[in-house]
Amino acid sequence: METQIIDGKALAIEYQEKIKTQVAKMNRTPTLAVILVGNDPASEIYVRHKRQVAERVGIISELFQLSPITTEEALIAFIQELNANDKVDGILVQLPLPKHINADAVIEAIDPNKDADGLTSANLGHLFVGTPNLVPCTPMACLALIKTVCPILQGKNVVIVGRSKLVGKPLSQLLLDENCTVTQAHSKTVNLKKVCREADILIVAVGKPNLITKSFVKKGTIIIDVGINRLKNKKIVGDVEFDKMIGHVSAITPVPGGVGPMTVTMLLQNTVQIAQKRQKNN
């Protein structure tokens, strides 16, 4: 079987061109405030990349790098200032936060109308009751990638491995809305292999290299690998044994170059959506 490698970078560039055109048509420049607490090297790389792509599409990204000993109260107070700042459209808090800060409380402090990551309970609630507003970026990225190889999703058996608020849960809702039959697997799932073998489309968002081997996957499945794992030799890999899937599955996303570039792009799409709505309301 020929396996199609789903090119997330190429799709991201297509989307970014559309975003650029939308930004050029606006009478104000969308602004994204990015908050980074501390100096975790991986987070610094992610933030730098998000800001580079923002600049490429014409979005202003302002970085606020706060000390690693910033208190939860001070961080929340800072977010409230950004909420009230008319120049700021989207607000993004780079995760993970240092252990002394409750990330849920911080996310909740973001004005849901400026919530570029779509992670506040208000925005997740909108998604779950069928009135989506700002939708989390990685799930939107996965859906866009799947549609490049499978435009009609109705009736497909989808297995999502992972049930986080960031990826698994909202993705499950997006795929239900596409009329898929969704199975959500997780760390306590019994016989994960058997569950995964039922999938027409298998999405893995766990964070464990080589969790999914060839024997977990029926022939012809579409695989979306969300995982990002840094090995001891510094190589970045996903959760799926990529090489063994070639010739066995119909399509697969690589890591890197699959879900990652599209996730960043969806963040910018959300920022433009916020800015357009604010422009209309002014």
Least Å from the CB of residue 278 to ligand NAD: 26
Least Å from the CB of residue 219 to ligand NAD: 22
| Shorter beta-carbon distance to ligand NAD: residue 30 or 260 | 260
CB 83 within 8 A of CB 274: no
Q: How many angstroms separate the CA atoms of 51 and 48, rounded?
A: 5
Contact residues for ligand NAD, defined by CB under 6 A: 138, 161-164, 166-168, 185-187, 189, 192, 205-208, 226-229, 259-260, 263
Query: 161: closest CA among 124, 135, 191?
Result: 191
CB 231 within 8 A of CB 246: no
| Shorter beta-carbon distance to ligand NAD: residue 8 or 112 | 8
Least Å from the CB of residue 85 to ligand NAD: 27
Q: How many angstroms separate the CA atoms of 121 and 27, rounded?
A: 31
User: Catalytic residues, which ones?
Assistant: 50, 94, 117
CB 20 within 8 A of CB 269: no
Residue 166: DSSP 8-state: T
| Shorter beta-carbon distance to ligand NAD: residue 102 or 179 | 102
Least Å from the CB of residue 34 to ligand NAD: 15
| Shorter beta-carbon distance to ligand NAD: residue 156 or 163 | 163
Q: How many angstroms separate the CA atoms of 110 and 91, rounded?
A: 7
